[in-house]
């Protein structure tokens, strides 16, 4: 289960970077498509931390950072490969996969800071409440880290290019959406923790007692 969770984690990270160029609307609000994917990564690190411990969750976060950097390097390499004459969509390929260095940097910076906050808040709450109230530490850690993630990404990626009022509107809109998704996926956190704990304990990690 640990391997599958890590595979899903890095896969969703890369997917969120690829689909972030697509914007969708919910009423009058506009959001990047990555919003529906990226928030799930916090659920996964919470599950890993709950079952396998804080060190395992931090290793997952670091592995995700390395994977994103490697993926970006290969994407940039693919973009700059000489296009064959039969391939008539080079500009579209660049537009979808290229992005800008500033947006890429904003994404990586927000990721590494917010994921560390998520793991640390989750385990501080666990030290305080023990194995009780998984729903509380799951939602509080995600709520705090998602606020930091959204604020950093929007500020670094768009400050100076859009009015300040629009920046705050983008931060609030994306954060509210992510927070709602985080609450909705709480039952899936319990489900994944239950499935992981049914497996034979991995000798590499300290498996903790079942949460109530």
Q: Where are the domains of the chain?
A: 2-198
Average pLDDT over residues 187-209: 71
pLDDT of residue 9: 93
Higher-confidence residue: 69 or 207?
69
Residue 94 has pLDDT above 90, yes or no: no
pLDDT of residue 32: 77
Q: What are phi and psi of 35, to 5 degrees?
A: -60, -30
**pLDDT tens digits, 159-194:** 877 777 778 888 888 888 888 888 888 888 889 888
pLDDT of residue 211: 45
pLDDT of residue 145: 87
pLDDT of residue 177: 84
pLDDT of residue 99: 67
Q: Which of 120, 156, 132 is nearest to 46 (CA)?
A: 120
Residue 14 has pLDDT above 60, yes or no: yes
Average pLDDT over residues 132-147: 83
Hey, which CATH number is domain 2-198, 1.20.120, 1.25.40, 1.10.1200, 1.10.1760?
1.10.1760
Average pLDDT over residues 49-62: 90
pLDDT of residue 118: 87
Contacts for 84 with CB less than 8 Å, ≥ 6 apart = none
Residue 11 has pLDDT above 80, yes or no: yes
Higher-confidence residue: 212 or 49?
49
Residue 206 has pLDDT above 60, yes or no: no
pLDDT of residue 209: 43
Mean per-residue pLDDT of the chain: 82
């Amino acid at each position: 289960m640990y391997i599958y969770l890590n595979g899903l984690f890095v896969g969703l990270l890369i997917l969120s970077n690829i689909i972030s160029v697509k914007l969708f609307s919910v009423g009058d609000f506009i959001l990047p498509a990555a919003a529906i994917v990226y928030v799930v990564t916090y659920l996964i690190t919470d599950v890993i931390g709950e079952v396998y411990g804080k060190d395992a969750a931090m290793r997952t976060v670091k592995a995700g950072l390395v994977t994103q950097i490697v993926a970006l390097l290969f994407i940039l390499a693919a973009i700059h490969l000489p296009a064959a004459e039969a391939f008539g969509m080079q500009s579209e390929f660049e537009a979808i996969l290229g992005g800008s260095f500033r947006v890429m940097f904003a994404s990586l910076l927000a990721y590494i800071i917010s994921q560390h906050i998520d793991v640390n808040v989750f385990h501080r709450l666990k030290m305080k409440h023990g194995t009780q109230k998984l729903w509380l530490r799951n939602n509080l850690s995600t709520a705090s880290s998602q606020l930091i993630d959204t604020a950093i990404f929007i500020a670094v990626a768009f400050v100076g290019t859009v009015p300040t009022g629009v920046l705050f509107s983008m931060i609030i809109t994306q954060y509210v959406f992510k927070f709602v998704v985080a609450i909705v996926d709480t039952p899936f956190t319990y489900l994944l923790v239950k499935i992981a704990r049914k497996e034979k304990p991995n000798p590499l990690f300290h498996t903790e007692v079942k949460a109530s």
